[in-house]
Structure formats: C-alpha cells, structure tokens
Copies of this chain bind each other. A is one copy, B any other.
Amino acid sequence: MKKITLYEVGPRDGFQNIPTYIPLEDKLEIIDGLVNSGVEHIQITSFVSPKAIPQMKDASELAGICKGKYPTLDLFALIPNLRGATGARKSGINRVSYVVSLGEQHNLANIRKTHQMSYDELALIKGEYPDLAVGLDLATAFGCPFEGKKGEREVVEFLKGYVDLGVEYVCLCDTIGVADPLQVRTTVAAVQRQFPKLDLHIHIHDTRNMGMVSTLAAVEMGVTNIQSTLGGLGGCPYAPGASGNLASEDVLAMLASMGYETGVDVRSMVRLARRQAELIPEGLFSGHLFRIPAGE
C-alpha cells in the first residue's frame, strides 16, 4: 500500500481569497478539525503585508496559538520575503513555503519582484535564518495568465538555482488550472530526471475541472505529496462560479478508494467541509463530496 501525504493549504490558499475577515476562533476551529481528522501537514497562514491581504492580519497570533497546541505537527506558513520569514520565525514557525512564480510577469503582479529579486531575497532569508526549512511553491509552473503555457524545460532551468540554494521541497503549483495530465506527467518526469533526490509536491487548481485528474497523474508518476484545500475553498470571489482549489476530501476519497494510504479520515473531512461552508458562506467551494447526502 502506497502512502500519500496530504498538505492541507486551505487556511492559507482558501482563506486568503475571502474578502470578509474570518474570526480567529473560526479559523482555529477549522484547523482543530483538520488535526482531529488526521492531517499532519497544514499551511496555517501566510506572513504577508496586512495591507495586501487583510485576511492574514492575525498570522502571528494564529501561528502562536497553533504551535502551542500542536507542537509536534508540521504547521507551516507561506512567506513572500524576508519580513515574512522574520514574522514566521518569531511565531515559532520552523518551516515555510517561499512563493515564486515561474511566469515573471505573474511574479511581478503577485509579489512585485523580478525573478532575480525573488532569488536574491531567498538567499538573504537562508543567510539570515540558516535553520529555517524553506520549501519552494513554484506558482504558474504549468502556465501563466500573462505569458501562456510553460514547458518542462523552463521549469527545470528555473529550479536549478533554487535547488542549489537548498530548498527543502518544490511544489509545482498550477495556479490557474491550465495543466492537463499529459503536461503534468511530462513536467514531473523532467524534474525527477534532473533532480532525482528532490522532494516534489503537486498543487493543482480545479479551475478547468482537472484538479483530480492532474493530481492523480502526478501521484501515478511517483509524487507522494499533494496540496489541496478543505472543500476546495479558493478561487477568486470576483469571478462568481469559477472553481478554485482541488478539494482535499474529494482527492482523499479517490486515493482511499484506489488503495492509497493517507492517514486522514475522509468522513471527518467531509463533515468538516460542511461545517466550513456554514462558517464561510461567501466562500467558493469546488468540492463535490460534501454536497451530497451520501458524501460520508
């Protein structure tokens, strides 16, 4: 039986798109529910400017509480820069995701940095906090809204410098949901060939209904770490109806049905996704399972 590890990123990638502030106690209820469902890796927040993303203004407080409650779990946070690393560090976070977009135009739009600036910033972070584990979330790894489709050679070339910097993992993120399973296979194969020892993650948005199929394509190529969000929370609230993330409970149910072991209780996740939909009525949810009576 093959083991797959779920990295639940809803408290970051899901919550960040909700315009109305979600009370801290509601966030904590979801995170508690995730822990109680057996999830051991949770991206609990991001250390970004509260002006840019007001939803994340409670990052330090939330991280402090969660680290205090669950000292042995892998509770990590997203950071875009050194200031974020400092914030994370002060809150007791010892593992972070550093986000860079493969599409430089997207990188400029998203975190206002050129590729060189992003790279230099990470070198600075590694110098400042040598014992901070840093993974690389490679956004727009399969396609960029400004630059179009991305090929596997561009991915491999881009990653070389970051692998040299000693990133702990690389997550191939399909930020706009344009990857098809064939592209996922080709890209994963190229990265595996170039960096055989690199810990690889996959994060596919469900924008074009390919969240499940492209994630499975990666899993069947040997990727054992998947990122997704409870209920499929995510997407842009300004594009009503558009789908966001791959739903954790949906992909967990498929994997369990296919004989993969995840250590997470799917029924508990389905109930939690229903609860989340009550707590965040304005959320956009791509999940299917939590909507059906037989979903448990």
The residues of A with any CB-CB pair to B shorter than 8 Å are: 145, 180-183, 206-213, 216, 239, 241-243, 247, 250, 253-254, 257-259, 287-289, 291-294
Cβ contact of A288, chosen from B209, B258, B291, cutoff 8 A: B209
- Measured between beta carbons, the chain B residues less than 8 angstroms from A243 are 288, 291-292
Number of copies: 2
Considering the complex, give the chain B residue whose CB is closest to the CB of A277: B241
- Measured between beta carbons, the chain B residues less than 8 angstroms from A180 are 254, 257-258
Chain A to chain B: the 5 pairs with minimum beta-carbon distance, closest first: A241-B291, A209-B288, A180-B257, A213-B213, A209-B250
- Measured between beta carbons, the chain B residues less than 8 angstroms from A293 are 239, 242
Q: Are A289 and B239 in contact (CB under 8 A)?
A: no
18 A-B pairs in the complex with CB atoms less than 8 angstroms apart: A145-B294, A181-B216, A182-B258, A182-B259, A207-B292, A208-B250, A208-B254, A208-B288, A209-B212, A209-B247, A209-B288, A209-B289, A210-B212, A239-B291, A239-B293, A241-B292, A243-B288, A243-B291
Considering the complex, give the chain B residue whose CB is closest to the CB of A149: B257
Cβ contact of A254, chosen from B207, B213, B241, cutoff 8 A: B213
Minimum C-beta distance from A103 to chain B (A): 15
Contacts A181-B258, A182-B259 hold; do A288 and B213 have CB atoms under 8 A apart?
no
Minimum C-beta distance from A58 to chain B (A): 30
- Measured between beta carbons, the chain B residues less than 8 angstroms from A287 are 209
- Measured between beta carbons, the chain B residues less than 8 angstroms from A253 are 208
- Measured between beta carbons, the chain B residues less than 8 angstroms from A211 are 209
In Å, the complex CA distance between A213 and B182 comes to: 12
Minimum C-beta distance from A247 to chain B (A): 7
Interface centre among A145, A257, A258, A289 (most CB of B within 10 A): A257
Considering the complex, give the chain B residue whose CB is closest to the CB of A260: B182
Minimum C-beta distance from A275 to chain B (A): 15
Considering the complex, give the chain B residue whose CB is closest to the CB of A290: B241
In Å, the complex CA distance between A207 and B291 comes to: 9
Q: Are A239 and B292 in contact (CB under 8 A)?
A: yes
